[in-house]
Chains A and B, each alone.
Chain A
Amino acid sequence: MTLTHFRFPAFLGTVLRGLLIGLLAVAIFGPLLNMLIWTVTEAWYYPAKLPVRWGFAFWDKVFRPEAGAMRALSTSLVIALLTVVLSLAVAIPAGYALSKRHLPLRSLFLLFFLLPQAFPTVAVHLNIARMFYGLGLTGTIWGVMLVHAIQGLVLAIWIASAAFAAIGQEQVEAARNLGASPLRAFMTVSLPLAAPGLMASAIFVFLISLDEFSGTFFVGVPNIQTLPLTMLNAAMEGNYQIASITALLLLVPSTLFMLFVERFLKADVLASVGK
């Protein structure tokens, strides 16, 4: 009997299915639960299975102004917003051009924009840092923003292109036939119709920037402390509580995104990403 012919008796199948799904649930939620416990732990000594003292004492420490976490949060948010503005400013025209299937060398351009995702980034980041050092951009918000924008650009361009491609051409043609200039047709017809897709790409870029680590690590030092770098420092100092609370802060935007993204990113847009 070969493997593909093998079948379980029905009740064994049910038990096995429950067991496997349960195991996956433990594997996925176990680490998350563990982090949540650490955020409300005041003391946890070996060999206690659970914290010996619970409480919010470390939340005070994280949110105290001198702890730096709040400053890191605002730095992260400012960089993420700037990254979104720059990426969209570049990605909207590019995405619009790429949505036209008669564009010469179209697939070559799509591949070119994929480059930052196709190569391992650390070696590139350390050379960007070296380049930025000569330009006076290391340790500045602008330098970090540029590195983040490069990582976000692929998704921004690909999603923008898909969003424009998903719009029917009839409405644009109608506007043009009524005498609208190409720019006017774009601003009043194409852009509003593509807005939900562009919104989704903005959210993606925002999250990529918020989570970006190695670019900030090389380009941002020593002045720019984003939330991920603050978390790394806390973790390396062995302060599990502060690292876990910072991690939780980083999870908030991602979780909100998970709840809202399906509203912005419609199936027809998703289906044409990268096509």
Chain B
Amino acid sequence: MQRPTSSLAMLALLAPAVLMVGLLFVYPLGMSLTYAFHNELTGGWDLGNFSKAFALYGGDIALTAGVTVLSTALVGVLSIAIAGYLTLGENQRAVAILGWIYRWPLFIPFVVAAQLMRTFLAKNGMLNNTLMSLGLVDPLNAVSLLDWRGVVITFVWKQLPFATLLICGAMAAMDRSMIESARGLGAGRLRALLEIVLPQVQATVWVALILSFVTMLSALSVPMMVIAGSPTMLTVDMAWRVNSYGDYGVANALGFVSFTMSGVAAWFYLRQGLRDGRPPK
């Protein structure tokens, strides 16, 4: 016997959560979008904050876009490779070891990841020390990686397990018979991965990459701790504008730019879904 609970009661149960997200997220988000166009000197509305933001932080905008796109691409390639091996690998011991290793950074906080890399990638850090001991790097040529490269390394290190876990889950839920028959017909594992497995888990891959992309765009602690000096990323610039100058206009204009970047990513995702002839999951 079906007892449909009244829709009104259901909406009442949802109300506190809706109210909370509305007041504490949507409202400040709207504030951010509005104040980006507000000129605090004249009290009017114009693009002044944007011209100032691009003039002062144009390089940082480009760096932020570059770092997040590059990190997302690396996360994509590596997570597909790892998830693919975990799904198609035939050596059980190697699969078990890989499955145990890749997860570790998943539950490590971003702040801790930033601190780990800050010491690991420094000029006198463990990475350079090890490479020197192995004779791979000349002590005179050792460089600190604490710039955009350090941020890319930290992002990939931290986000890789998350994307791999999602993609691996989708691959595990696939019907294996098609893989088996393709393998039986002589397809190599790489070919099975690229031509049979990947098209079926495409939607999950996109979700994992977009969530990673937005997470990286939001990270304040990583560029703050890993990049020594300038150029740096937009989140650090926003914090700086507000804490040092009380300049919410330019900070919100920079925020607008970062919303646009995540918007472009979401648009790619939707377009991908439309091209496949079905809505993305």
Contact = CB atoms under 8 A, between A and B. Distances in A.
B238 interface: yes
Contacts of B266: 118
Contact of A122 (B17, B106, B258): B258
A97 B7 CA distance: 9
Contact of A247 (B1, B91, B112): B112
Interface centre among A123, A173, A255 (most CB of B within 10 A): A123
B15 to A, nearest CB: 9
A217 B224 CA distance: 12
A269 interface: no
A55 interface: no
A191 B216 CA distance: 36
Given A17-B91, A47-B139, A235-B225, A157 B109 contact: no
A213 B20 CA distance: 20
Given A4-B194, A127-B28, A231-B115, A214 B5 contact: no
A40 to B, nearest CB: 13
Interface string A101-140: 0111000010011011111111111111111000000000
B262 to A, nearest CB: 6
A214 B220 contact: yes
A98 interface: yes
A49 B262 contact: no
Contact of A232 (B119, B173, B225, B259): B225
B54 interface: no
B111 A228 contact: yes
Interface string B18-31: 10110011111101
A247 B218 contact: no
A23 B217 CA distance: 28
A3 interface: yes
B129 A131 contact: no
A119 B218 CA distance: 8
A266 interface: no
B124 A47 contact: yes
A5 B34 CA distance: 55
Contacts of A247: 111-112, 115-116
Nearest to B101: A25
A213 B221 contact: yes
Contacts of B194: 4
A69 interface: no
A173 B3 CA distance: 8
Contacts of B21: 112-113, 115-116, 150, 153
Interface stretch (A57-65, A77-85, A88-96, A193-201): A88-96
Contacts of B107: 207, 254-255, 257-258
Nearest to B30: A127
Interface residues of B, number: 89
Interface string A1-36: 001111100000000010001001101111111110
A30 B118 CA distance: 13
A264 interface: no
B32 interface: yes
A79 B214 CA distance: 25
Interface residues of A, number: 89
B239 A217 contact: yes
B50 interface: no
B251 A228 contact: no
B126 interface: yes
B252 interface: yes
A223 interface: no
A30 B115 contact: no
Contacts of A34: 116, 119-120, 125-126
A243 interface: yes
Contact of B110 (A94, A124, A211): A211
A123 B119 contact: no
B229 interface: no
7 nearest A-B residue pairs (beta carbon): A123-B255, A211-B109, A94-B17, A254-B107, A93-B13, A4-B191, A127-B28
27 contacts: A6-B188, A21-B97, A24-B98, A24-B102, A32-B116, A34-B120, A49-B133, A90-B16, A93-B16, A97-B14, A120-B235, A122-B218, A122-B255, A123-B251, A123-B252, A123-B259, A124-B32, A127-B35, A157-B17, A207-B107, A232-B225, A247-B116, A250-B111, A250-B112, A251-B109, A254-B107, A258-B103
Interface of B: 1, 3-5, 7, 10-11, 13-14, 16-18, 20-21, 24-29, 31-32, 35, 82, 91, 94, 97-98, 101-120, 124-127, 129-130, 132-133, 139, 157, 169, 173, 188, 190-191, 194-195, 211, 214, 217-218, 220-221, 224-225, 234-235, 238-239, 242, 248, 251-252, 254-256, 258-259, 261-262, 266
Interface of A: 3-7, 17, 21, 24-25, 27-35, 37-38, 46-47, 49, 89-91, 93-94, 96-98, 100, 102-104, 109, 112-113, 115-131, 146-147, 149-150, 153, 157, 173, 176-177, 182, 207, 210-211, 213-214, 217-218, 228, 231-232, 235-236, 240, 243-244, 247, 250-251, 254-255, 257-258, 270-271
